Structure 1
Amino acid sequence: MSRINTVARSTIRMAVPTALWVSGALALCAALAIRTPYLFSIRCWALAVVLCAGALGVALASCWLRKSRRPLGWLLLALCAAGPVVALAMEGRFLLQKQRVLANREAMARDIGRHLMIGYGTLADVEPLAANGLIGGIFVTRSNIAARSAEGLRTDIARLQTLRREAGLPPLAIAADQEGGIVSRLSPPLTALPPIGTLADQPADQRRAAALTYGAIHGEELAALGVTVNFAPVVDLRTNNPTHSLDFGSQIARRAISDNPATVTEVALAYGEALRQAGVTPTLKHFPGLGGVVEDTHIIGATLHTPTDALERRDWRPFREILARLDAWLMVGHATLAAVDPLAPASLSRRVVGGLLRADWGYQGIIVTDDMTMGAVFNGGLCRGAVAALNAGVDILLVSYDWEQMFPALDCLIDAGRDGRLDSVALAQSRHRLDAIRLSAMRAAPP
């Protein structure tokens, strides 16, 4: 029995420091990520867990250090304390950036803020940003309408537009992501439609009419809420590429209309026309085409290796043909277009946005990025990415999933504006494009 007790005590003596090393390392990793999109959904309690785990770890490590007096004990104690210290530092830095943004009344803050379209948690979160001109638009999604009626969301949107009007500011752009199928962020209460790709199977003589009806349902329901922009249709081509094991978000094969460029163009054009008829602006996405990549840009970087001549013949035909015939926005995704700029995601590339789209294609409409909190961009630095996107010729930066990232993003952009790191020519051209659509919105807004 004595020997058993001795073995048990020895095992415990070994297990406790091992557990402390592991838990301390995990707490430190969580602390470093506390203000990243990866912990957004659990951020409300992750900080408390890190602080409690750190306090417990410090207490246990102190006891173990007193008993063992091993040299590594001090290192273990420091590791256990590092998690809470780093977490508080990260949180403190964020709160400082948030306070600087909310208190900023400079003209530059408004001038740069108009390029941001953000998601939000509650109406109270976004009211001061809207009233003070620190954003140009909002993105409404499932969390804004969950367990609520359509009337509740409509009232919120109307409230924000009233704040803008009272402040002498142009109306906010109100965007949604209502594609149909698996991406129907506002259904319910809005009508849940099957994937738009099902229309490709319709007889050729019925396809356009079916797409017009489909688009009319989306357009009328979105317009009734006060939504002015829909991030649809998807015009990426469906391919037979194998699905990446980490593709949890893109799933383009389930969202694409067809693998035939002509069919995609026909359906997407009719759908976009119906949205326009209802007063909602369509958005073609995701240039340069996610059908040709297997990685999920929500998580990691992705590269499109297809040569540009092949892309012009197939993947880009729907983009070019529809943009030539329809007043639509263009969403640029975060895949790297290797043939044009192998060093940067398309959304941040001056060669892609300013060169290919603006100069070569002659597209002078609104370009919006995919969500800037997606891993393909965020992992390279949100600040660097935001500056690069505006300098490339992008008009609107979407910050939707982890919407609180708008505070460090805007804080950084204001600093970049002061330091001369923002391209004044690109900003002036973008200002002209944004002024044009907002003047149109003000004319259409109710008195």
Structure 2
Amino acid sequence: MTHQRSLSTLPRRAAAFAVTTMLLLATAGCSMPLFPSGNDSSAKSASSSSSPSSSKSAKNAGKDTDKSGTPSTDSQTTSAPSAQDKAKEILATMSVEQKAGQLMMVPLFAGNGATDVQNLVQNDHVGSVLLLGNWKGGTSAVAQVSSKLQGYTSGVGLLICADQEGGQVQHLTGSGFDTMPSAVKQGQMSVDDLRSSAKTWGSQLKSAGVNVDLAPVAGTVQTANRSQNAPIGALDRDFGLDAAGNGQHAAAFVNGMRDAGVMSSIKHFPGLGGVTGNTDFTDSGITDTTTTLDGGQIEGFRQALQANPDMVMMSLATYSQIDPNEPAAFSSAILNDYLRGTLGYQGVVTSDSMSAAALGSIPAKELGVRFVSAGGDLICIGANEYVQPILTGLVQKAQSDPAFAQQVDQAALRVLTLKVNAGLVS
């Protein structure tokens, strides 16, 4: 059960008004809270040098980026020559369908078996799976599912992801998983204590076979009071500090996960702290009129990027002071020019859930194409009925448009490089 309508019938915006308790338990997009709990987890190479962007600071990395957002040869070689060379070798053997599959993160809901996505992994070449819903069976139960999922692959393993932030967003619970405090409570820890705690939580995720934690939130609440900010402040998903403090705590969380061998994703760039609506459920109140590229909201992400996170998740809100015409995930000015160019981030960029109500006016077949065209890599999907249209859209566009096919290659290369560094390539 999802909060989205059937693709052939109702308009997507209707999903925002059909949310029920059962729906909340079944969906999370790539950022949705669950009630009473939620979860997100990931696994990563223990060494910070294993990150595709780890060899240079965010401040300087942009100097080696071309206009398309692709790292130059010198930048890539300096970052991880062996990993990228291996990724290029794999890419050269892939069909268009296989490359497109590597850009897909598909949902697997709690209570369903790994076989639900077996066909997508084995026949549609999907490269990432997102665990959604209330997984209550503990680490051993999740580990059994993760192992089965990885068994469907050959040569290139899966990114197995979850939203494990803490508080109301902790999807994996039960024996072996600590009950994580909310991010606001994590913000009351010192950065050293938070890093230590994140290492513990990451170790639990790794034992469950989850190798990507789609956390932490690095944005800063900017509304008059926290309750007015539905996606973040009302749910205590930020660290509750100023932008610099939020960014430093986000970096500590990322480093703690890395210490445990788990990958992570800071989110939702350039921040959801200035909107009133939750992009998962509504297309109203999701235009940010205050965030600027030289303002405080961005500072939290600048600080968090110093930890070289494996992924950055893009917001689905629109930022009128930066690009009033496109949601951030579809904005080349925000994603490619600023995040990759100015800030120099060269790692994997993922979307928030493409099945969100915020994108209700856009045909599903165009969603992945617009994201990759803006410079994105990994397409997060929170509803099953969106998977095939998005995948078909990618393949058809790549087959008919050489320039887009090159962008698919660039995105797949970044994903494959990440996987090589994470030990997911045999």
TM range (shorter): 0.7 to 0.9
- Is 1:372 matched up with 2:368? no
| Kept in 1: contact 2:202–2:261 (CA 8 A) | yes
Among 286, 292, 314, which residue is 1:332 paired with?
A: 314
Deviation for aligned residue 1:36: 8.8
* SS of alignment partner, residue 324 of structure 2: coil
Deviation for aligned residue 1:354: 1.4
Aligned to 1:434: 415
| Kept in 2: contact 1:393–1:427 (CA 8 A) | no
| Kept in 2: contact 1:392–1:426 (CA 8 A) | no
* SS of alignment partner, residue 316 of structure 2: coil
Give TM-score, length-normalised by structure 1. Answer: 0.70
Larger radius of gyration: 1
Deviation for aligned residue 1:211: 0.5
- Is 1:187 matched up with 2:169? no
Deviation for aligned residue 1:327: 3.5
CA distance in 2 between counterparts of 1:322 and 1:418 reads 37
Among 155, 158, 162, which residue is 2:151 paired with?
A: 162
* SS of alignment partner, residue 109 of structure 1: helix
Deviation for aligned residue 1:149: 4.2
The gaps in structure 2 that reach 5 residues or longer are 1-5, 24-93
Q: Deviations over 1:160-202 (max 9, x none)?
A: 21221xx33x110111100011111112342112212113334
| Kept in 2: contact 1:239–1:259 (CA 8 A) | no
- Is 1:113 matched up with 2:101? yes
Q: Deviations over 1:307-355 (max 9, x none)?
A: 52xx534111121122133343100010112222211110011221111
Q: Deviations over 1:390-445 (max 9, x none)?
A: 11110100002x12310121122222222228623322322321221122233x67
Among 138, 158, 161, which residue is 1:172 paired with?
A: 158
Aligned to 1:142: 133
| Kept in 1: contact 2:202–2:256 (CA 8 A) | yes
Deviation for aligned residue 1:130: 1.6
| Kept in 1: contact 2:397–2:405 (CA 8 A) | no
Give the letter for the 1:380 counterpart: I
| Kept in 2: contact 1:243–1:294 (CA 8 A) | no
Among 221, 224, 233, which residue is 1:238 paired with?
A: 221
Give the letter for the 1:137 counterpart: S
Give the letter for the 1:436 counterpart: T
Q: 1:376 to 1:244 in 2, by over 3 A?
A: farther
Deviation for aligned residue 1:252: 5.3
- Is 1:397 matched up with 2:379? yes
Percentage of identical aligned residues: 24
Q: How does 1:26-41 map to 2 (within 5 A)?
A: 32-33=9-10, 38=15
Give the letter for the 2:101 counterpart: G
Aligned to 2:47: none
Q: 1:305 to 1:246 in 2, by over 3 A?
A: closer
* SS of alignment partner, residue 323 of structure 2: coil
Aligned to 2:119: 128
Aligned to 1:218: 201
Deviation for aligned residue 1:133: 5.1
The gaps in structure 1 that reach 5 residues or longer are 1-28, 44-105
| Kept in 2: contact 1:391–1:422 (CA 8 A) | no
CA distance in 2 between counterparts of 1:142 and 1:347 reads 24
- Is 1:360 matched up with 2:347? no
CA distance in 2 between counterparts of 1:270 and 1:116 reads 28
Aligned to 1:414: 395
Q: Deviations over 1:360-392 (max 9, x none)?
A: 222111100000000112432222222110111
Deviation for aligned residue 1:304: 1.4
Number of residues paired by the alignment? 343
Among 300, 307, 315, which residue is 2:282 paired with?
A: 300
Aligned to 2:185: 198
The CA RMSD over aligned residues, in Å, is: 2.9
* SS of alignment partner, residue 362 of structure 1: coil
Aligned to 1:151: 140
Give the letter for the 2:9 counterpart: L
Q: 1:171 to 1:349 in 2, by over 3 A?
A: same
| Kept in 1: contact 2:221–2:233 (CA 8 A) | no
Give the letter for the 1:336 counterpart: T
| Kept in 2: contact 1:238–1:252 (CA 8 A) | no
* SS of alignment partner, residue 150 of structure 1: helix
Deviation for aligned residue 1:245: 8.0
Q: Deviations over 1:34-61 (max 9, x none)?
A: 9999379899xxxxxxxxxxxxxxxxxx
Q: 1:223 to 1:180 in 2, by over 3 A?
A: same
Deviation for aligned residue 1:107: 2.1
Aligned to 2:211: 228
Q: 1:384 to 1:200 in 2, by over 3 A?
A: same
Q: 1:110 to 1:267 in 2, by over 3 A?
A: same
Using the TM superposition, name which of 318-327 and 122-131 deviates more: 318-327
